[in-house]
Amino acid sequence: MKHLFRKTALGLSIVMALGLYSCNTFENEPLERLSEDQAFNPTDSTAKYFTQSFFAIYAQLPDLHNRISQNYLDAGTDDAVPTIYTNDGVESFRNGRLSPSNTVDGLSMWSLCYTGIRRANLFLSKWDAQPATNKLPEPSRTYMKGEAILLRAYFYFELLKRWDGVPIVYDKVYNLEDTINVPRSSRNECVDYINAQIDDAMKYLPAANVAASSDPMYYRMNKGVALALRSRLALYLASPLYNPTNDLTKWQAAADAAKAVINLNVYSLHTTSPGFQTLFVTLKNNEVIMGNVITSSSGSNSVELNNSPCGYYTSAFRCNGYTSPSQNLVDAFLTINGKTIDKDPTYNPQDPYKNRDPRLKYTVFYNGSTWLKRSVETFEGGLDKPNRQTAQTQTGYYLRKFMGNNETSSSLASQKRAYNIIRYAEILLNYVEALNEVNKDNPDIITYMKQIRSRAGITAGSDGRYGLPTTFTQSEMREIIRNERRIELAFEEHRFWDIRRWKIAETVMNQPIKGMVITKQADGTFTYATTNVRTQQFDASKMYWYPIPRNEMVANSALTQNIGWNY
């Protein structure tokens, strides 16, 4: 009798969450482990465990909120630092401590993705034998096959962007007794496999839909998600890390892939006021393409408790303020006129948050922000930077994004939210980035950049261009698009990968992280002065790719390590 508890040399430890089960026969494994034969019993008209095994694949989608030592992955970039400084976690991406024995994000994501792949393979291997029933009607049964295939493709993409070529196990379902010596496939082999999986999934998936539809199972895989995943993959493949010869056909393919999503005419930017803030706490909206179905189904105030300024403390709750956004990021935000702060004469460095891009307000807490009926105090000695505890902002800022609107309430209510893995704004930014590389004069660039800035709350200006220049070079527009992407998608696990695929991490991550020192004067006014809060080091000879975790190298003798990590 095969059981669903398996370990493989690829680092999988798989326990399918199918409920409790016991039987009267002697078992060599725990009685509560449900056997494969029982889970995938084609005579079971309820298809209960078959359905649960399907949703166990979805359970492998990452919940990206505070997932690495209570921090966001972007706290390992120039956009933020951990509030509680440690020598492990995301700081290892900054201080040179990353290694095959300290892979930080690597060990968990290797296991998470290969667990998801095995669950998908196991489910797909049983799919043909499972007939449609009253509890599992067609076309739902068919959709499930497409969803499992697409989820498998997504897991391989997550592996690819971390390690480059990885072992492809295809449809094989490895069991405990199997010896696994699977070599790494090449990048091109992985890419071809992912694209083939997307093509195959499209045969079974339902049409593209949005979370705002009447379908109670929102955030399920569909053809729109398939096209969006292809857009992200194509953009990576066109980027300098993957495309060192700057093959323009790859940029055109990326533009075409993003335009295919746009041309569905299904998705749109969420504009319910304030559009940018409510996007992350409105589960059913037209911007979400792919989200985490596990987090979207429940409500909590964990994001608020983890990230709100540390000075908010009562007997009922304590805000931990784990993430400290950097001055580097704050300076990247535009003014309300759509200009960078160094090009807008209205910007006042001694009143730095006045007349700024509204996305700044909804991304970071800064001195004077309103939260729980009081002003945030990140000045020296203020309630949120008392200088007598370690758990306080390192930069003068705290993370605001993803939170509910608690400005005027007195407590943190339970908030339903999902982590948007892919949303429509990303697709628009994918499109304009790729388009600029092949034809910077294409009017679609300005059209879609204006849409993003308009939703953000940037003023149109007398020329109706939302601060965008009337003439520009390709490199100038490239920097504008990259900065737009940085501020629009902050803390959504894009900056970490963007600076790598653009091959600029060796510059960005060798510059200091800056913060703001705010001093309150006797008359109640404030003075602002920037300061360095962290040094960084990035070794370009090896750090563009993760080291394969040491235990995986030991368990699978066919694996080869990424360059520079052989210690």
pLDDT of residue 3: 38
Residue count of the chain, please give it. Answer: 567
pLDDT of residue 292: 82
Q: Which two tokens stand for residue 224?
A: 């729109």
pLDDT of residue 214: 59
The DSSP 8-state label assigned to residue 208 in this structure reads P
pLDDT of residue 313: 74
C-alpha span between 62 and 195 (Å, rounded): 21
* Mean of pLDDT values over 410-437: 91
In a domain, 31, yes or no: yes
The DSSP 8-state label assigned to residue 416 in this structure reads E
pLDDT of residue 246: 98
* Mean of pLDDT values over 411-420: 82
Q: Could you give the 3-state DSSP secondary structure of residue 207?
A: coil
Give, for 399, the enclosing helix (H) or strand (E).
strand 398-399
Q: Which two tokens stand for residue 526?
A: 């404030």
C-alpha span between 142 and 6 (Å, rounded): 27
In a domain, 153, yes or no: yes
Q: Give the bridge partners for 313, in sequence order.
A: 318
pLDDT of residue 29: 45
pLDDT of residue 210: 74
pLDDT of residue 219: 80
Q: Which CATH number belongs to the domain containing residue 38 in this structure?
A: 1.25.40.890
Q: 362-375 pLDDT, tens per residue?
A: 999 999 999 999 99
* Mean of pLDDT values over 307-336: 91
In a domain, 131, yes or no: yes
pLDDT of residue 480: 98
Whether the ω angle into residue 139 lies within 30 degrees of 0, i.e. cis, is: yes
In a domain, 414, yes or no: no
- Please tell me the least confidently modeled range out of 133-147, 236-250, 270-284, 545-559: 270-284
Give, for 82, the enclosing helix (H) or strand (E).
strand 80-82
**Closest C-alpha among 111, 101, 155 to residue 10:** 111
pLDDT top residue among 11 and 184 = 184
pLDDT of residue 390: 67
* Mean of pLDDT values over 462-473: 98
C-alpha R_g of the chain: 24
Q: Give the bridge partners for 6, in sequence order.
A: 14
In a domain, 22, yes or no: yes
- Please tell me the least confidently modeled range out of 34-43, 110-119, 160-169, 350-359: 34-43
Show the 3-state SS of 180-208.
CCCCCCCHHHHHHHHHHHHHHHHCCCCCC
Q: How many domains does the chain have?
A: 1
Q: Could you give the 3-state DSSP secondary structure of residue 190?
A: helix
> To which residue do tokens 């040491």 refer?
550
In a domain, 89, yes or no: no
Domain interval for residue 160? 1-68+104-205
In this structure, the strands spanning 374-375 and 370-371 are: antiparallel
In a domain, 219, yes or no: no
In a domain, 392, yes or no: no
pLDDT of residue 463: 97
Q: Where are the alpha helices (DSSP H) in 319-457?
A: 327-332, 358-361, 424-438, 444-456
Cβ pair 431, 440 in contact under 8 A? no
